[in-house]
Structure formats: C-alpha cells, structure tokens
Amino acid sequence: MSDSMVQVKNVTKVYERGKQKVEVLHGLTLDIPKSDFVALMGPSGSGKTTLLNLIGGLDQPTSGEVLVGGARIDQMSSGQLAHWRAHNVGFVFQFYNLMPVLSAEANVELPLLLTKLSAAQRRQNVGVALQVVGLTDRAKHKPRELSGGQEQRVAIARALVSDPQLLVCDEPTGDLDRTTADEILGLLQVLNREHGKTIVMVTHDPKAAGFARRILHLEKGQLLEQAA
Amino acid sequence: MTKSGFVIANMFRKRTRTILTLLSVIMAFVLFGLLQSINSMFSAGADFVGATRLMTQARVSFTQPLPVSMLPKLESIPGVARVAHSMWFGGIWQENTPLFVFSVDPLRYRDVYPEYVMPDAQWQAFAHTRTSMVAGKLLADQYHWKIGQKIPISSNIYPQKNGSKSWAFDLVGIFDGKDDAWRRQTNVAFINSDYFDEANGFNAKGRTNFFILKLTDSQHAESVSKTVDAMFENSPDETKTQTERDFNLGFVKQVGDIALIVDWILFAVFFTLLLVVGNTMAQSVRERIPELAVLKTLGFSDGSVLGFVLAEAFALCLCGGLVGLLLATALGAMVEKGTGGQFQVALDARVWLIGIGAIVAMSILVGLLPALRARRLRIVDALAGR
C-alpha cells in the first residue's frame, strides 16, 4: 500500500489566454508522503499556485496524472471533484476568504452542510475545530470583528472541520505580521505533527518555509531541487 | 446554521439596498393586487345576489333619456315594490366646482332610498316646494349651506326657458346616511323633478336618465331584471336593467377600456421592477464572485451555487410579494367597506394565485442570469480575480 498522499506524474498545464497558449507546468513529477509538510517556493509565474490548484482538485492538468489519497482526481468530472474536495481536502487562502455575513462558527460549519450530520453533531464538530485553533471564545463574532490572525485561524478551522487528510495552503501568512504569521505556522505544524495532516503550502517567505519539513523550489514550471 | 439561513444572511448583506429593493417589490405587488381586483371587478359577470335595488336605463346609453311614463309598467312587475326616477342635472357651484345634482320625484326617491335619513317635514317640504333642493350632509358641510338658504347653481347642460344656465334653489333639507358607508355617499343634492320639467329650456319634460326599482325581495333581482328588459325589447325605448353596483361600474367604464389600461400599468410597473430587482441580484452576485468560488472549493457543486442564488432571488420576491399582496388585501377591504360594497376590490383567491405565480416568475427572471453566472464561474479564475 502506497505511503504517498499526493502523486503528480509527468503533469503539464497549459493555459489559453485568447490566442496565446502559456505552458505553466512542464512534465512535472512529484511525490508527497502522508503526514508530510511541504513548502512550495519559487518566483512569480513559476507555477506554484497552479500546482497547488491541481493537487487541491481546483483545476485539471492538460496532461499527466494527479493522484491524491490514491484517487485519480485528474479523471474526475467537476461534480465528482466537488464531492471529493468536500471530504478529502481543506483549503487555506492568503486573504482568508471567509463569508462576511456569517459568524466564525457559521463559517466553520459551512462545509458540514454538505454532510448528513445533524445540527447538533455539526455544532459539536465546529466546537472541536474552533478549540483546536484556540478560538472558542470568538465563535459568535463576524470576520470584521476579528484580527487578521484570528480570521486565518477561523479559515484553518473551516479547512479542518470535515477532517480531511490533506490541507492545501496558498500563502497563508502573506497578509499577516511576523508574530501572527509565526503563530499560524506553528498551528500548521501542530496539525501536521500531532494530527498527522499532510500539508502542502505555497509561500514566498523563506521563514514561513522553514516551518515545513521539506521545501520544493519551482522555476518556470519545473521542480528544481528539494531541501530538507 | 442552515442552507436557508445562509441564503437569508446573504440577502441582507447590504441591508439598505435590500430594504429599498423590498419596498419596490412591496409597492409593485400592492398595485398589482389592487389593480387585478379592479380588473376582476370590471370583467366579472353580473351578480344579482343580494341586490335590493335595480337600475333601468336606456339600452344604448344612460345619456339617452327614457319616458317617465314607463314608471307604472315597471311598478306593475311582480317583485317590484316601488320605482323612482332620476335625471342628471350637471350642477356647477360658484366658479367651476362640479356637483352631483339630480332631478328626482322627492317622495318616490325617499321610498327607494331609505338609507338617506332626513326628517319627514323636510321630505314634505322638498315634495311641496317647487324650487326646493335637498343636499347631503357632506355636501352641505363642505360649502357651509344652511336650510333656508337660496343656493345658486349653474347647469352645464340645461338652460332655463329664458336661456340662462344659472339656476337658484331653496335649500329645504339636509339628509344624512344611516351609517358610515351611506354617510360617505351624502356628497349629492336633489332638486324637484316637477320644477325641473317645467322650467328647463330643453323641453326634457317627462324624461329621465334612469329608473330605480326597489325590490320586495333580493331573490327576485335577476328575474325582475330580465322581465323589465324583455318588456321593452323591440320598443323605441329598449332598456338595460342591472344592479346598482354594475350601474356604478358602468360610469367608470366611460373613462375607457379599464382592463387594457390596468394591463398596461401593470406591465410598466413589473417591467421596471424587473430592472430594479434584476440589477440588485446582478450586483449582489458580482460582489460575491470570490465567495461563490470559495463555496465551490469547499465542495458545493455548480448546481448548489446556482440554487443559492436562485433561492436568494426567490426569498426577496417572496417576502416583498407576500407583504404587498397582504397590504393590497387590507386596502381593498377598506375600500370595499368604505363604499358600502359598491366597489369590491378585496383580493380573492384568484388574484392571490396569480400573485404567487407572478412572484415565482419574477424570481426566475431576476435570478436566472446571475445564478447561471455563478454556476459557470471557474474557481481558479474567480479566486485570482479574473
């Protein structure tokens, strides 16, 4: 049985912008074991976010294979991918992307509306997720009433609440000050080391990348090197 | 939190905008409800149920007078208790204020309209004073008329025999209504038909615009109506007999094709509403493109996202539409009560059903395009702000 959580095999991604075709990833191959914490670094336009989107099932490769948890997500329809994402991956974005009209706990509960859990069970799971990120006392607050770090914690709780094995983070500390960023990265480390979550994180920040177990560098759509 | 709770929360994300849009929808449906009821009222067939009086006019038009000599024949019809007649005088007060003034036989009018309440002495004075006039309380109070005054009134139709259109009448009585509904109908005045017949310069003697038939029993309304019209069929004075309600509606229909006017007004109202609410929905979805993309990343399908937007459009139209229809129902009931049942604009089940259908249709029309846009948006492009 494979120990891999993510397998990317000879993947190419080409975007069409009008009449222009832009090849963002060139025959990229990558293996991420379970419970790994990988940071993807590289200059703008190197393909990091594109690779992240493919791993997270937000986009499809032009060619090649993408396996996550043993499932060939490159062959799934958009409906199948939506269902797969709901149960297998959690997303954390640079700008949090919380629903401004919902409280923190309602934001965290959103993914659970796709499950068959009762309202009571959903509330319980939300409580646990908020406890993990240390925000139980801010559950009723709307995003505008939270600091940036608190908003990102809510976003992480939302990503965790369905108990996915894979967390995909796109510049999670890009909008935070150093202290808050370290807190968030520390939380991701805890999720990785103590809860066994596999984390793939895109970052420009070498200090942020230092929290990961491995650092992968991309340039012009290809993996250059791996650093421990 | 539930999916419907999420929809409602999004509906009020911009509270002022939503409230203003809701008010527009409410107003549109108030108009819709009232105007549809008016339309129903004018389209409805004759309803003789409960009618205690009938109005007989010339079949061609009430402007064509009938001979008063028809009266004994009308009174001989089984089911008819008493007959009065009334002729439009067309009064003008002072410079240019139109008044409702009719020429009547005083005691017959008293008998067919017991709802008008006046001391018998004043009725007798009206009957026995040639130049007499009686005025309704609303009218008298409005112009500060007192019994004993000589009231100068011009006619916009009938001159006196000397050619002058200026008339003067002795106010010998002021009548009230038996209840609030009838009190509201005391904005009229009556003059003595004997004097009018003798003094008018048009030689309209012995003619009347319409007869009022008081029935012994409202159950006879339809049969008496048919009997009257059959009696004068193929005569020089063919008649049209109808209930008071239909007769009053006939006046309003003089204005024009009410149904067509109403339809065009409603079309204009709802077209504008489509633009207003459609714009609100389009704006709302445009503002939320990244949020809708995030919903998709969380696992909500394209269909679910479409459903959220359509549900929001439906919630907006349903809230506004239901409140509007309820307000229209209340207003219609007030109008009906205020006119003593003459104008039945209270919303019935048919208007409610059409209203709910309009709510559903409007929801789809204003919500579909934004919902399809939400459904089609690509996560990657939306999150990247493209």
What pLDDT was estimated at residue A29?
Answer: 93
What pLDDT was estimated at residue B386?
Answer: 66
Residues 6+ apart with CB under 8 A from A160: A90, A129, A132, A133, A167, A191, A197
Query: DSSP letters of B14-35?
Result: SHHHHHHHHHHHHHHHHHHHHH
Report which of residues B161 and A105 the model is more confident about: A105
Using DSSP, state whether B127 is helix, strand or coil. Answer: helix
What pLDDT was estimated at residue B343?
Answer: 65
Residue B34 identity: L
Q: Which of A30-44, B190-204, B221-235, B313-327 has the lowest mean pLDDT?
A: B190-204
Report which of residues A1 and B342 the model is more confident about: B342
Q: Which of A161-165, B36-40, B90-94, B313-317 has the lowest mean pLDDT?
A: B36-40
d(CA B38, CA A99): 46
Query: Considering only alpha carbons, which residue of chain A is nearest residue B386?
Result: A17
Phi then psi for residue A117, to 5 deg, are: -65, 150
Cβ A85–B291 below 8 Å, yes or no? no
**DSSP E strand stretches across B109-194:** 116-117, 132-136, 150-155, 166-177, 188-192
CB distance A2 to A21 below 8 Å: no
Cβ B302–A78 below 8 Å, yes or no? yes
A&B contacts, CB < 8 Å: 73
d(CA B295, CA B309): 12
Which residues in chain B are contacts of A113 at CB distance < 8 A?
1-3, 6
Residues in chain A: 228
Cβ A59–B379 below 8 Å, yes or no? yes
Which residues in chain B are contacts of A109 at CB distance < 8 A?
1
CB distance A155 to B291 below 8 Å: no
Report which of residues A54 and B265 the model is more confident about: A54
Cβ A110–B291 below 8 Å, yes or no? no
Q: Using one digit for the tens of pLDDT, what is the confidence trace for B59-77?
A: 988 888 999 999 999 999 9
Cβ B1–A113 below 8 Å, yes or no? yes
What pLDDT was estimated at residue A228?
Answer: 53
B295, two tokens: 């919903």
Cβ B299–A58 below 8 Å, yes or no? no
Domains of chain A: 35-57+77-227 (3.40.50.300)
The whole-angstrom distance between B351's CA and the closest CA on chain A is: 36
What is the interface pTM, i.e. ipTM, of the complex? Answer: 0.92
What pLDDT was estimated at residue B203?
Answer: 66
d(CA A18, CA B16): 40
Q: Using one digit for the tens of pLDDT, what is the confidence trace for B285-313?
A: 999 999 999 999 999 999 999 999 999 99
Q: Is the pLDDT of residue B374 over 70?
A: yes
CA-closest candidate to residue B320, choices B26, B84, B21, B98: B26
Cβ A79–B290 below 8 Å, yes or no? no
d(CA B171, CA B137): 12
What pLDDT was estimated at residue A198?
Answer: 96
Residues 6+ apart with CB under 8 A from B197: B103, B204, B205, B206
The whole-angstrom distance between B182's CA and the closest CA on chain A is: 55
d(CA A222, CA A86): 29
CA-closest candidate to residue A66, choices A93, A89, A87: A89
CB distance B318 to B359 below 8 Å: yes
What pLDDT was estimated at residue B325?
Answer: 94
What pLDDT was estimated at residue A40?
Answer: 94
Report which of residues A220 and B356 the model is more confident about: B356
Q: Is the pLDDT of residue B324 over 90?
A: yes
- Which burial class, exposed, middle or buried, applies to A219 when counting CB atoms under 10 A from its CB (0-12, 13-18, 19+)? middle
Residues of chain A with pLDDT under 70: 1-2, 225-228
Phi then psi for residue A20, to 5 deg, are: -90, 140
* pTM of the predicted model as reported, rounded to 2 decimal places: 0.73
Q: Is the pLDDT of residue B55 over 50?
A: yes
Which of B12, B298, B383 faces A110 most closely, judged by CB atoms? B298
